[in-house]
Amino acid sequence: MKLKQLSLNNFRCLENKKIEFDPDFNLIYGKNGQGKTSLIEAVYFLATGKSFRTKKVKELTSYDKIRTIVYGSFESKLSGKTIAIDFNNDKKEYYVDKNKTKYIDYVGILNVISFIPEDIEIIIGNPSVRRGFFNYEISQTKNIYLKTLVDFEKILKTRNKLIKERKTNKELYHIYNEKFIEEGSKIILMRKEYVKNISRLLNLNYRKLFDANSELRLKYDSFIDNIDKMTLEEIKEKFREETVKKHDREKRYGYTLVGPQKEDFVFELNGKNAKAFSSQGEKKSIIFSLKIAEIDMLIKEKNEIPVFLIDDISSYFDEIRKNSILNYFKNKNIQCFITSTEKLDIEGKKIYIDKGRILSDE
């Protein structure tokens, strides 16, 4: 995939402008606080409908404006497409080739992987951060996962309501409990398969890029023990057993205590939990290896190369490793958007940002 063009209207501090991009490298440079990160954030927002900096989407709209539009055109192996997001008064509308579409069908059309300072939270943050991250990444590779997740969350909400209202002896509760087990088991199975595949790639990338003598694993910490070789039916059976065990406690607490909404993902470096035992440098290397593994997964699952975003590359890597990483992307034919306070010596388009003004350096 190659993002050819981006048009911005009232996005953060950036001027309203149409920008053409290089199919390989796009360096966005300038002093701190000028809008470099906002430009790659706009690319991320176009692809995902989300920000990697804030959960408050209102913050993406320029001061004293109420409407933001981000529009882009890109090429994939199959065809070219245009996509757009129109955000107005808390309402987001999604468009593909100028036709309005649902978010659930929009996700995964333009695949993007970002590497930003905040990504360290994937390791050190609480389990909800990791669930949110992996939920989106699995959705990029399998649209059916997102649809299942949306259905599951609706069912969970109703199940919690029935527990809180002490209606667990009613027929409606039993219907929703079965749906809860059915959709939850599908999520667990897809997570299990994804973790198995990406863990192997994660380890290969870490050893190739950072430390050939180390062993890096991603483990799926499920409430169901020993799920590695379980079928969907076996997962359902174990899930059902767990809901029975927790039934009385759920009635006391008034909400659901078991299910994929409670699970976690654990990074282990040389057999130890990276959250507690890895250095800051090792954590950064783990995250970067994860991002490269995501690229490999998308190529494997969708036969498409995603767009890659790196925020503040100089603060992450020394000169030797930086050049090694840039060569990796070049050899893989991956389109990159890189921010830096320095004007790096790379082939491609250089965009200078000054107080929100977007100036091509050609």
Choose the final residue of a domain: 254, 276, 301: 301
Report, as ranges of residue numbers, the positions in the chain whose pLDDT lies below 70: 78, 314-321, 361-362
Q: Which residues, other chains included, contact 239 with Cβ-Cβ below 8 Å and sequence gap of 6+?
A: 181, 184, 185, 188, 224, 258, 259
Q: What is the pLDDT of residue 320?
A: 62
Q: Tell which of 256, 271, 301 closes a domain.
A: 301
What is residue 214's predicted lDDT score, i.e. its pLDDT?
Answer: 94
Q: Which helix (H) or strand (E) holds 142?
A: none
> Do 296 and 311 share a domain, yes or no?
no
Instruction: Decide if 117 is inside a domain.
Output: no
For 36-53, the pLDDT digits (tens) are: 999 999 999 999 999 988
Residues 294, 148, single domain; the answer is yes
Residue 287 forms part of a structural domain: yes
How much is the pLDDT for 78?
66
Give me the long-range contacts of 76-84 (CB less than 8 A, separation at least 24): 76/1, 76/304, 77/303, 77/304, 80/4, 81/109, 81/110, 83/46, 83/47, 83/109, 83/110, 84/46
The reported pLDDT for the residue numbered 5 is: 95
- Residue 329, number of CB atoms within 10 A of its CB: 18
- pLDDT tens per residue across span 227-237: 988 999 999 99
Among residues 279, 301, 323, the one where a domain terminates is: 301
Compute the distance between CA of residue 128 and CA of residue 213 in angstroms, rounded to an integer: 31
Same domain membership, residue 7 and residue 76: yes
pLDDT at 318: 65
Sequence-distant (6+) residues with CB within 8 A of 76 are 1, 304
In a domain, residue 242? The reply is yes
131 and 219 assigned to the same domain: yes
Binding site, residues?
30-37
What per-residue confidence (pLDDT) applies to 274?
96
Could you list the residues known to form a binding site for ATP, using ranges. Answer: 30-37
Residue 89 and residue 166 in one domain: no
| Per-residue pLDDT at 215 | 96
Q: What tokens were used for 179?
A: 């749906």
pLDDT at 330: 81
Where in the sequence is the domain holding 320, given as residue range(s)?
A: 1-111+304-362
pTM beyond 0.85: the answer is: yes
**Is 157 found in the same domain as 95?**
no
* Domain co-membership, 205 together with 291: yes
Q: Give residue 164's pLDDT.
A: 95
CATH number of the domain residue 137 falls in:
1.20.1050.90
Q: What CATH number corresponds to the domain at position 86?
A: 3.40.50.300
Same domain, residue pair 75 and 172: no
Number of folded domains in the chain?
Answer: 2
Could you tell me if 205 and 310 lie in one domain?
A: no
pLDDT in the model for residue 319: 65
CB 294 within 8 A of CB 218: no
Quote the pLDDT of residue 117: 83
Q: Are residues 330 and 286 in the same domain?
A: no
Of 162, 161, 159, the closest CA to residue 180 belongs to 159
Amino acid at 321: R
